[in-house]
Amino acid sequence: MKAIVYTRYGTTDVLELKEIDKPILKDNEVLIKVYAVSINDWDLGLLQGDLINRLINGLLKPKIKILGSDVAGRIEAVGKNVKKFQPGDEVYGDLSGSWGGFAEYVCGRENALALKPVSMSYEEAAAIPQAAMLAIQGLCDKGQIHSGQKLLINGAGGGVGTFAVQIAKLSGVEITGVDSSGKLDMLRSMGFDHVIDYAQEDFTKNGKCYDLILDVKTNRSIFNCARALCLNGIYVTVGGSMGRLLQALLLGPWISIISKKKILVVSLKQNKDLAYMNELFESGKVKPVIDGPYKLDEVPKAFRHFGEGAHKGKVVITIEHN
């Protein structure tokens, strides 16, 4: 099969299109013929090999050599302990931990997968898993979003933000989006009530307050973010600078005690809300925003586009089979 393989950490130059053996199916896995896969921030971290990702995937060189977690495809074969699926089923899910999605075939555990609605394209399905789960778990589980609130999404034009605005709209909230100038028109067209260009304005210093902040970038001091919350407001971070995330984890509980504002960190529960996403998609309430799709041999180019932050929504790769 064809796959995008890397054998050392580095830039996109280390990604190579190769012909390799198909993966070997274990008893609790299914073999998926991959039709689409999307890029996540975690893939980029694993490619570049920062310290945390080296601890996960090998200190000197990557143990898992094919990246790609969010896949959509058709089941080709099932292991003998698999109960939920059968060959021919169209599925999607987040395989992070085992990865392998930038390839014509990948094996995945059955509990990492959900059936793909017929009306959902493979590209749409591949865009969903990590980004939509983070949006739902950030807004609903941690953020307890409800009508009448003022919500701010920092890093609004990427994967998480473009799902979050659509999900938040269902709760009848007023939404402000923060991103770079080139993405603000898209944000307005998606339903953001207000937009902020982060190069022009610091949302933590503009004198406004928000009931709920969903932060995808976490690049500002946690104290400043807390200051941007209204009384009883909740700040939820899903990711960003490691230093700031640690600050949120360590200082968040203290800020909550002294100020009646909550600082919370999402720890992704992979694939937990895929059934809910299927409902939202089938009722026409949420539609993934796709950047691309690119082809398998264009994965290095797609990674560069993603790494430059030039993408809108989710960067998706289509895999054609001859």
Ligand X SMILES: NC(=O)c1ccc[n+]([C@@H]2O[C@H](COP(=O)([O-])OP(=O)(O)OC[C@H]3O[C@@H](n4cnc5c(N)ncnc54)[C@H](OP(=O)(O)O)[C@@H]3O)[C@@H](O)[C@H]2O)c1
- The site for ligand X (CB under 6 A) is made up of 41-42, 130-131, 134, 154-155, 157-161, 178-180, 183, 198, 216-217, 219, 238-240, 266-268, 309
Q: How many residues does the chain have?
A: 322
Place of tokens 């586009």: 305
- Give, as one character, the DSSP assignment of residue 104: S
How far is the CA of 105 from the CAs of 22, 285, 302, in angstroms?
Answer: 6, 31, 20
Amino acid at 80: K
**Nearer Cβ to ligand X (2/217):** 217
Minimum Å gap between C-beta 111 and ligand X is 18
Minimum Å gap between C-beta 195 and ligand X is 11
Judge contact between 165 and 193, C-beta under 8 A: no
**Nearer Cβ to ligand X (28/48):** 48
**Nearer Cβ to ligand X (31/95):** 95
**Nearer Cβ to ligand X (23/93):** 93
For the CA atoms of the chain, what is the radius of gyration? 20
Judge contact between 175 and 210, C-beta under 8 A: no
- CA-CA-CA-CA dihedral for 290, 291, 292, 293, to nearest 10: -40
Q: Rounded CA gap, 283 and 41, in Å?
A: 29
**Nearer Cβ to ligand X (84/272):** 272
**Nearer Cβ to ligand X (108/239):** 239
Minimum Å gap between C-beta 179 and ligand X is 5
**Nearer Cβ to ligand X (23/138):** 138
SS (H, E, C) 275-292: HHHHHHHHCCCCCCCEEE
Minimum Å gap between C-beta 78 and ligand X is 28
In terms of Cα–Cα distance, which of 221, 69, 248 is closest to 159? 69
Minimum Å gap between C-beta 317 and ligand X is 15
User: Which residues fall within 8 angstroms of residue 265, CB to CB, at 6 or more apart?
Assistant: 236, 237, 245, 248, 249, 252
Closest-by-Cβ residue to ligand X is: 158
Q: Rounded CA gap, 94 and 85, in Å?
A: 16
Minimum Å gap between C-beta 189 and ligand X is 15
3-state SS class at 60 = coil
* Angle at 269 (CA atoms; ends 60, 198), nearest 5 degrees: 80
Minimum Å gap between C-beta 22 and ligand X is 28
Q: Rounded CA gap, 237 and 154, in Å?
A: 9
**Nearer Cβ to ligand X (66/134):** 134
In terms of Cα–Cα distance, which of 94, 95, 70, 135 is closest to 280? 135
**Nearer Cβ to ligand X (50/279):** 50
Minimum Å gap between C-beta 184 and ligand X is 10
Minimum Å gap between C-beta 203 and ligand X is 9
